[in-house]
């Protein structure tokens, strides 16, 4: 065990922690005499993978078995999506649900029940699990699936690492015909047009929109991207080379002026046309910039991702724009997706609605703004994504997740309370 200064991807409030890097899962039960926080590759934005004592599983990164006929892969939980892709894509298989970065571990994907650009078609990551093995608070190991120990499955999927240590995972992949995506991009002039185009293209496999958060004349103008797997191409797959940000940028690099300039350039350089792009370029554009979080400077940043009911539409989304404008805070990145039906996992984030992710530099003013965001999300019957959260309070959290009591009962049943915790779980009253 070593001491390291740790923070979430937002680089907020670094903390000195005791960290145990595990090379194998044997013997981990001996660490459960005290509370531990579980951590993969540290890509959750807030404090969900931080605590006084951390068990990090990143070194447990292996493919144990690959059924290339049926597309079922057996892996250890510390393997990243990118490392998995580098093996499976060449064989004609791909993860059914992918996040916006390939650096997320499979264990983290389960703990967050991640979603992607195809939730309206494929649901969440955990909807495609065959099963996984879990070390409980007692030190015993159980095999868990939607049919076997299903209450523990529903609590672990989206449960932010608070039920046990995920070890071996069996995942069902989707068949692909190439390492390319057939992409169509459409410019829009308003939020209404953006949502209309997303609805029009709801039968496409992947849909996502980038939204200009700063345009005064055309609020919500954006670029709608529609993608489908290209069936008759090359399966050769190479992970993109990346440039690295070596140090924290000046705190004022990302300001209202620079964000407005970037948004205008990005909007006008995009032409509405069809093209073939590699899987990396479509799913993981920011992976080309290692440590891009340092662009926000030493103060760090936070992402606020919310989901609100579909019927609220543009008016529901506009309220967030109005609050940000009131505080003179603008998002460098604003990504809009449409969710399909949610699942039965107790703390899974998606439900049928609209989700938007907004990035803000951390400062006193943005902290005040996010409190208003919380109130608005509550009023609109929405919820905040725990994998991105840093500031939700216990009182707000309890109104957003109606199955919280079921989640806690399962944790008590399997002796997770007092064993698995994080700074986030303490903040949310889950200990």
Mean pLDDT (the chain, rounded): 93
Instruction: For residues 62-67, give the mean pLDDT.
Output: 98
Alpha helices, DSSP H only, in 270-312? 279-283
Q: What is the pTM of this model?
A: 0.95
Instruction: For residues 393-406, give the mean pLDDT.
Output: 97
pLDDT category of residue 223 using cuts at 50, 70 and 90: very high
Examine the pLDDT at 161 and tell me if it is beyond 70.
Answer: yes
Query: What distance in Å separates the CA atoms of residue 70 and residue 58, rounded to the nearest whole number?
Result: 27
What is residue 247's predicted lDDT score, i.e. its pLDDT? 64
Alpha helices, DSSP H only, in 69-206? 81-88, 106-112, 119-122, 150-156, 191-200
CA distances from residue 123 to 97, 129, 169, 313, 315 in whole angstroms, order as listed:
8, 12, 18, 21, 25
What is residue 29's predicted lDDT score, i.e. its pLDDT? 80
Q: Are 22 and 76 in contact (CB under 8 A)?
A: no
Examine the pLDDT at 411 and tell me if it is beyond 70.
Answer: yes
What is residue 242's predicted lDDT score, i.e. its pLDDT? 72
DSSP 165-201: EEEEEEEE-EE-SSSEEEEEEEEESSHHHHHHHHHHT
Instruction: For residues 219-248, give the mean pLDDT.
Output: 83
Instruction: For residues 163-190, give the mean pLDDT.
Output: 96
What is residue 216's predicted lDDT score, i.e. its pLDDT? 65
pLDDT category of residue 203 using cuts at 50, 70 and 90: very high
| Listed range (117-126, 211-220, 293-302) with the worst mean pLDDT | 211-220
- Tell me the three state secondary structure of residue 327: coil
| Listed range (69-73, 296-300, 371-375) with the worst mean pLDDT | 296-300
What is residue 28's predicted lDDT score, i.e. its pLDDT? 83
Query: What distance in Å separates the CA atoms of residue 257 and residue 316, rounded to the nearest whole number?
Result: 26
Task: Write out pLDDT tens, residues 250-307.
Answer: 766 777 777 777 777 777 777 777 899 999 999 999 999 889 899 889 999 999 999 9
Task: Write out pLDDT tens, residues 328-372.
Answer: 998 878 999 999 999 999 999 999 999 999 999 999 999 999 999
- Tell me the three state secondary structure of residue 164: coil
């Amino acid at each position: 065990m070593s001491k390291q200064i740790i923070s979430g991807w937002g680089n907020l409030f670094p903390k000195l922690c005791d960290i145990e890097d595990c090379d194998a899962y044997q013997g981990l039960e001996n660490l459960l005499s005290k509370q531990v926080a579980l951590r993969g590759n540290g890509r959750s934005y807030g404090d969900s993978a931080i605590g006084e004592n951390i068990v990090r599983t990143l070194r447990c990164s292996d493919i144990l078995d690959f059924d290339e006929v049926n597309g079922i892969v057996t892996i250890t939980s510390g393997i990243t999506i990118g490392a998995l892709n580098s093996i499976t894509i060449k064989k004609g298989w791909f993860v059914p649900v992918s996040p916006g970065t390939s650096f997320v571990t499979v264990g983290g994907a389960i703990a967050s029940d991640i979603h992607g650009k195809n939730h309206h078609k494929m649901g969440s990551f955990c909807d495609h699990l065959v099963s996984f093995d879990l070390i409980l608070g007692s030190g015993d190991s159980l095999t868990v699936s939607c049919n076997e120990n299903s209450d523990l499955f529903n609590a672990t999927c989206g449960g932010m690492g608070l039920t046990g240590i995920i070890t071996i995972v069996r995942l069902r992949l989707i068949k692909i015909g190439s390492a390319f995506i057939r992409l169509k991009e459409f410019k829009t002039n308003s939020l209404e047009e953006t949502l209309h185009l997303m609805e029009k293209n709801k039968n496409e496999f992947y849909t996502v929109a980038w939204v200009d958060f700063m345009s005064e004349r055309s609020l919500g103008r954006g670029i709608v991207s529609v993608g489908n797997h290209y069936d008759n191409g090359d399966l050769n797959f190479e992970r993109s080379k990346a440039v690295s940000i070596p140090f924290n940028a000046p705190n004022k690099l990302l300001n209202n002026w620079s964000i407005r300039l970037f948004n205008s350039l990005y909007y006008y350089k995009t032409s509405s046309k069809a093209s073939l792009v590699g899987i990396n370029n479509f799913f993981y554009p920011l992976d080309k910039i290692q440590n891009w979080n340092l662009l926000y400077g030493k103060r760090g940043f936070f992402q606020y991702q919310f989901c609100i009911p579909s019927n609220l539409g543009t008016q529901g989304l506009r309220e967030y724009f109005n609050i940000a404008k009131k505080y003179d805070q603008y998002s460098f990145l604003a990504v809009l997706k449409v969710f399909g039906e949610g699942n039965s996992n107790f703390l899974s984030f998606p439900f049928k609605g609209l989700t938007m992710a907004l990035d803000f530099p951390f400062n006193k003013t943005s902290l005040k703004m996010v409190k208003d965001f919380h109130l608005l999300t509550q009023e609109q019957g929405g919820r905040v994504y725990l994998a991105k959260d840093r500031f939700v309070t216990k009182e707000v959290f309890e109104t957003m997740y109606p199955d919280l009591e079921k989640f806690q009962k399962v944790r008590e049943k399997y002796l997770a309370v007092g064993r698995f915790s994080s700074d986030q779980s303490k903040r949310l009253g889950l200990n």
